[in-house]
Amino acid sequence: AQTVTQSQPEMSVQEAETVTLSCTYDTSESDYYLFWYKQPPSRQMILVIRQEAYKQQNATENRFSVNFQKAAKSFSLKISDSQLGDAAMYFCAYRAGSARQLTFGSGTQLTVLP
C-alpha cells in the first residue's frame, strides 16, 4: 500500500521569507501523480500544485514550486515570498496512475508571522 509521510506537523515562516514543506511517499508504481493541497481556516481544501511522475521538470505555480526527487521519493513544496494568506494546513497527496483515489499525508500546519 502506498503511504505518504509529512514529518513536520507544524512550521512557521516570517512574512516575505521562503519556507519548504517536506513530503515523502512510498510506492512501487512507476506511473503516479503528486499533489499539494491547502486548507485555510475556512476549511475548503484547494489544489496548490501538481506533478506528474514522468515529468523531470519541477512544477511551478507563481510563488509555489516543488522539488520532486523521484529516486528519493520526495516531493517538497517551496513557498517563496510568504504572505499572511498562505497560513493554512498543507496536505501532500499521492495518486497511482491507474487509480481514482488519493492517499494523503497527515498535514503540516503553516503559520505566517507578520
Applying CB under 8 A, which residues contact another protein? 4, 6, 9, 33, 35, 37, 42-47, 50, 52, 91, 97, 100-107
Residues 48 and 110: beta-carbon distance below 8 Å: no
Q: How far is the CB of 15 from another protein (least distance, A)?
A: 26
Cα–Cα distance for residue pair 10/106, rounded to 1 Å: 11
- Least separation in angstroms between residue 43's CB and another protein is 5
Nearer to another protein, 37 or 68 (CB): 37
Q: In terms of CB distance, is 43 or 114 closer to another protein?
A: 43
Shortest Å, Cβ 14 to another protein: 26
3-state helix, strand, coil in the chain (%, to 5): 5, 55, 45
* Nearer Cβ to another protein (44/56): 44
Provide the grid cell at 34.
503528486
CB of 67 to another protein, least distance (A): 19
DSSP for 60-89 reads EETTEEEEEETTTTEEEEEE-S--GGG-EE
DSSP state letter for 9:
S
